[in-house]
Each structure stands twice: as structure tokens, then as C-alpha cells.
């Protein structure tokens, strides 16, 4: 029997390469393949890289689905089902929008595939008893089963040279706009440290990316993992939260374990905005500047992300934040407009307040990256989008890249160990290249070079 797993793109421009920085290994699908019984031959098709076949040679197809890939996933599924092949959908969007997803597939998995549910689905398929919906959320356990991902399926795809690992899933915080915490209902699950180490030992890449939603969700466990990683001599990066600056013991262990960079969602410099987001816990006593300095003292360079469009935000706040990010010499930064992801408290609030321009923006023909789908209070939607784009362009211009060079974290010890400096330079130039390419990139459609929708 043959199972084909598909990673949809967010959309494509015909005959143009996909955006390089969006081509990380699809760990969720490799994990699903790892859970699949040996009697199934498994094929991975990644639409970001591969051409989709006209005729699918499979007994059953699994498609992973996020909000940004939902429309493409539905179009692909329609084609496959027309060929008489059953389609299973899973992924974060099934948790957020189950009533929508179920209309586009033969079987929907809500929640993680671990814990026996995936093998049950395949067994039911074999016995012609496939059900429309399976839900693993009802048997939630704090410990997340470790599965060895089928990394052999990545061969010859040309992914970014990073080994992807997952040590935990979800985040215990409940920021109003966050799709991750809404999908996982504010719960955090983690894997056993010895299993993670076993997994890392099989990864050939020197640089790892922990695809955790929040790597420091549970400080005591993160410390345990860092201790176990220290002898492996890997470099790694992941996602953290600014409150870890209060934990010097943790920072010491992160440094020893090879932590090179952490993405931190600062979101805003305005305390009132943080309160509205439900993120007032991020208002650290000593302030962002002092906290950044502490992280840098432990050799950790920072990828700061900021979001604009809350009611307290004004156009001049975007420039102020840009200046802050440059002054603080952040290694990388993202200046994003707010996105009302379906299934989040933010989406429900905007819906009640009548502020959504298009209620199903992720399914709209012609929707593109950078388009603001709600009415902000102090910007027009176009102004908010433009301000964020301008901030990105300025942050990554050549002179501002130079201004952000410093020798404790971004380019530490460049002569004895050039790795960090090389990462700083390459990550900045890849990001610079991606900004223009990403703006107006089609979400949900394949378009031609004139913008005409082909699919």
C-alpha cells in the first residue's frame, strides 16, 4: 500500500522559485511517516519544491494544513479526490477550523498524530472503516510520545541546511492573537530528554532548529535538556520568551548547550498594547534594553519580532520600534501587521466589533502576503501594511546591517569561531532578499507573472 504525504505551498508564482527562507524540512510529515507501519510505502511531495503530479499514484494521501496553506490544500485535495483517492487532513488549521476543514477531505485528524491514533486511522482505512473525524485531544498527556522522523524522505529536496527537532509542543501563555496557543488550548507537552538526545545524535547537520512553539515553556525541563545537549557540540536556535532574562542559571546552560539565537516575540514597546494582547507578563521589570543586554552577555543573539495594529498603536510607533531594534543591534527582526487568525480570541473580538474586512480572508481569491484583513484604529489597512514593509526594508539595508554588528553575540569571537559571524551575515542577506519577494506573494493561489490567477 502506498501513502503519499503532501506539504502544500502557501501559493506560487508560476515559473518562479519559491521563497528560500520558507523551505525548512517538513518535520510534521516526517514524523507522520515515522509513525506509519512498515507495510505502507511512504512518499513525500513538497509543493514548495516539487511539481505536483497530474495523476497521483497512491492508495491514500495525507495533507498537512495551516491557515496560510488551507486554500492550496483544499484545491490539491479536490484534484486527488476526483481521482478516487481518499484524503486525510491534519495540522494546526484542523484544530482552529474543524468545521471548515472537514468539508474538504474524507477524514480529518484533530490534535496530534501520536499516541496510536495515526495507526488506528490507517488500520481503519485498510479495513474500509475510515471515519470522517478522529480527535486525539481527548486523551491529552503532558508527555509527548517521541517518534523518530523519517528524515530519509528529505533527500535531494534542497531544504535549508538546518536539522529540525521538536522537544515540546504548545505554549502555556495565552496571547490574544496567537494561533498556536488557541490550537493547543494553552497547553504545553514535552518529550523525554533522552529521546530528544537520541534523535539529535542521528542528525548530521551541525546547526539545529528546535521547532518548538516556546523552547523555554518550562524552565526546569529546558535546563535538563541543555545539560544533556552540552556534550553534543551542536549549534542551535529556537523560540523563547523575554522573561527568561530573569533566569541566569538557565542562560548559562543555554550558552553551554550551543544556543546561538533565540526568536523572542517582543511584540510591542508599548505597555498598554502588551496588556491588550494579554501579554503583560512580558513587561519585564528591568525593561527590554536591560534584558537584551543580559541575553547577549550569555552569547545569545536575538531575533526580535514586533506586531502592529492594536488600538493603542500609532504610525510613528513603527519607526520608533525600528530605531529600537537597530540600536539594540538585534541580529534579525520582523515587523508584522496583526493577523486575525481564525479560532483566536482576537478574531472573535474583531468579528464582534465588525472590523474584519473579509471574514474568510485565508480563502479569498487574490489575497496576498502583506495584505491587512481588518480595520485598524489608527492606520488605514494599506498604511499599516506599507509601514511594516518599509521598516523591514530599512532594518535590512546594508548600512543598518553594519550598525548591528557586535562582538558579544551576533558576531562573537569571529576569528576563533567564525560560525556566529557567518550565520549573522548569511541570515541577514537571506532575509534582505526575501522581503521584496514576499511582499504581495500569493496566498492560496498559483498566479502567472502578470498576477493572473491560474489555479
Non-local CB neighbours of 455 within 8 Å, separated by 6+ positions: 75, 445, 446
Q: Is the CB of 215 or the CB of 374 nearer to ligand SF4?
A: 215
Is 267:273 a contact under the CB 8 Å cutoff?
yes
Helix, strand or coil, per DSSP, at residue 1? coil
**Region from 19-27, 112-120, 170-178, 323-331 binding ligand SF4, contact rule CB under 6 A:** 170-178
180 sits near ligand SF4 (criterion: CB under 6 A): yes
**Phi and psi (nearest 5°) for 264?**
-125, 125
Nearest distance in Å: CB 178, ligand SF4: 3
User: Which is nearer to ligand SF4, 58 or 307 (by Cβ)?
Assistant: 307
- Cα dist. 159→58, 374, 436 in Å? 24, 34, 21
Is 265 a binder of ligand SF4 (CB under 6 A)? yes
Residue 443 contacts ligand SF4 per CB under 6 A:
no
Min separation Cβ 142 and ligand SF4, Å: 17
Residue 305 CB, nearest approach to ligand SF4 (Å): 9
Nearer to ligand SF4, 115 or 186 (CB): 186
Candidates 178, 183, 264, 346: give the one binding ligand SF4 (CB under 6 A): 178
Q: How far is the CB of 347 from ligand SF4 (least distance, A)?
A: 14
Region 230-249 residues binding ligand SF4, contact defined as CB under 6 A: 241
In the window 287-346, what residues touch ligand SF4 (CB under 6 A)?
none
Least Å distance, CB 88 to ligand SF4, is: 27
Return the C-alpha torsion angle 136, 137, 140, 144, nearest 10: 60
The CB-side HSE value for 297 (13 A sphere, CA atoms) comes to: 14
Under rule CB under 6 A, how many of the chain's residues touch ligand SF4? 11
Rounded to a whole number of angstroms, the minimum distance from the CB of residue 7 to ligand SF4 is 22
Alpha carbon distance 164, 181 (integer Å):
21
Q: Report how far residue 106's alpha carbon sits from residue 81's, in angstroms, rounded to the nearest whole number.
A: 8
Binding of residue 171 to ligand SF4 (CB under 6 A): yes
Nearest distance from C-beta of residue 218 to ligand SF4, angstroms? 13
Transcribe 173-238 into DSSP letters: ---TT-HHHHHTTT-EEE--HHHHHHHHHT---SEEEE--S-TTSSHHHHHHHHHHHGGG--EEEE
Candidate ranges 79-87, 145-153, 174-182, 411-419; the one touching ligand SF4 (CB under 6 A) = 174-182
Given 23, 181, 273, 420, the residue binding ligand SF4 (CB under 6 A): 181
Distance between CA atoms of residues 225 and 417, nearest Å: 24
End-to-end CA distance of the chain: 30
- Asked if residue 214 binds ligand SF4 (CB under 6 A), the reply is yes
Residue of 5, 30, 175, 447 interacting with ligand SF4 (CB under 6 A): 175
Backbone angles phi and psi of 219, in degrees to 5 = -55, -45
Nearest CA to 200 out of 238, 228, 170, 242 is that of 228
Quick check: 31 and 58 in contact, CB under 8 A?
Answer: no
Q: Which of 34, 30, 35, 29 is nearest to 8 (CA)?
A: 29
Work out how close the CB of 139 gets to ligand SF4 at its nearest, in angstroms, rounded to a whole number. 23
- DSSP one-letter code for 14: T
Q: Which of 213, 313, 317, 371 binds ligand SF4 (CB under 6 A)?
A: 213
173: contact with ligand SF4 by CB under 6 A: yes
Of 107-115, 161-169, 176-184, 188-196, the segment contacting ligand SF4 by CB under 6 A is: 176-184
Contacts to ligand SF4 by CB under 6 A:
171, 173-175, 178, 180-181, 213-214, 241, 265
Amino acid at each position: 500500500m502506498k501513502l503519499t504525504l503532501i506539504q502544500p505551498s502557501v501559493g506560487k508564482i508560476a515559473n518562479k522559485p519559491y521563497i528560500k527562507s520558507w523551505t525548512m524540512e517538513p518535520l510534521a510529515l516526517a514524523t507522520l511517516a515515522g509513525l506509519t507501519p512498515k507495510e505502507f510505502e511512504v512518499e513525500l511531495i513538497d509543493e514548495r519544491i516539487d511539481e505536483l503530479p497530474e495523476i497521483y499514484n497512491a492508495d491514500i494521501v495525507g495533507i498537512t494544513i495551516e491557515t496560510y496553506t488551507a486554500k492550496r490544500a483544499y484545491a490539491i485535495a479536490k484534484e486527488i479526490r476526483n481521482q478516487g483517492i481518499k484524503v486525510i487532513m491534519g495540522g494546526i488549521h484542523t484544530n482552529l477550523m474543524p468545521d471548515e476543514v472537514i468539508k474538504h477531505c474524507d477524514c480529518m485528524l484533530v490534535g496530534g498524530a501520536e499516541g496510536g491514533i495515526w495507526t488506528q486511522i490507517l488500520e481503519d482505512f485498510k479495513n474500509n472503516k475510515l471515519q470522517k473525524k478522529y480527535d486525539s485531544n481527548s486523551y491529552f498527556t503532558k508527555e509527548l510520545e517521541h517518534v523518530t522522523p523519517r528524515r530519509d524522505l528529505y533527500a535531494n529536496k534542497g531544504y535549508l541546511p538546518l536539522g529540525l527537532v521538536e522537544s515540546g509542543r504548545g505554549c502555556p501563555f495565552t496571547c490574544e492573537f496567537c494561533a498556536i496557543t488557541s490550537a493547543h488550548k494553552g497547553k504545553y507537552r514535552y518529550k523525554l530528554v533522552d529521546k530528544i538526545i537520541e534523535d539529535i545524535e542521528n542528525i548530521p547537520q551541525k546547526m539545529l532548529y528546535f521547532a518548538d512553539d516556546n523552547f523555554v515553556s518550562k524552565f526546569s525541563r529546558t535546563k535538563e535538556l541543555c545539560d544533556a545537549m552540552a556534550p553534543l557540540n551542536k549549534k542551535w536556535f529556537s523560540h523563547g520568551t523575554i522573561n527568561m532574562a530573569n533566569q541566569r542559571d538557565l542562560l548559562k546552560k543555554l550558552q553551554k548547550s550551543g544556543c546561538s539565537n533565540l526568536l523572542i516575540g517582543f511584540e510591542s514597546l508599548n505597555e498598554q498594547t502588551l496588556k491588550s494582547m494579554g501579554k503583560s507578563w512580558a513587561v519585564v521589570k528591568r525593561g527590554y534594553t536591560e534584558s537584551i543586554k543580559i541575553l547577549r552577555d550569555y552569547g545569545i543573539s536575538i531575533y526580535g519580532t514586533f506586531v502592529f495594529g492594536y488600538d493603542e498603536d500609532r504610525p510613528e510607533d513603527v519607526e520608533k520600534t525600528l530605531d529600537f531594534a537597530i540600536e539594540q543591534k538585534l541580529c534579525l527582526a520582523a515587523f508584522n501587521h496583526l493577523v486575525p487568525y481564525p479560532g483566536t480570541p482576537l478574531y472573535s473580538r474583531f468579528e464582534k466589533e465588525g472590523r474584519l474586512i473579509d471574514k474568510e480572508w485565508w480563502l479569498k481569491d487574490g489575497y496576498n502576503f502583506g495584505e491587512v484583513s481588518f480595520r485598524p484604529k489608527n492606520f488605514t489597512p494599506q498604511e499599516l501594511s506599507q509601514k511594516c514593509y518599509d521598516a523591514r526594508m530599512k532594518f535590512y539595508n546594508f548600512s543598518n546591517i553594519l550598525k548591528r554588528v557586535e562582538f558579544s553575540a551576533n558576531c562573537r569571537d569571529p576569528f576563533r569561531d567564525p560560525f556566529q559571524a557567518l550565520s549573522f551575515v548569511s541570515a541577514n542577506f537571506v532575509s534582505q532578499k526575501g522581503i521584496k519577494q514576499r511582499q504581495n506573494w500569493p496566498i492560496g493561489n498559483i498566479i502567472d507573472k502578470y498576477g493572473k490567477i491560474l489555479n
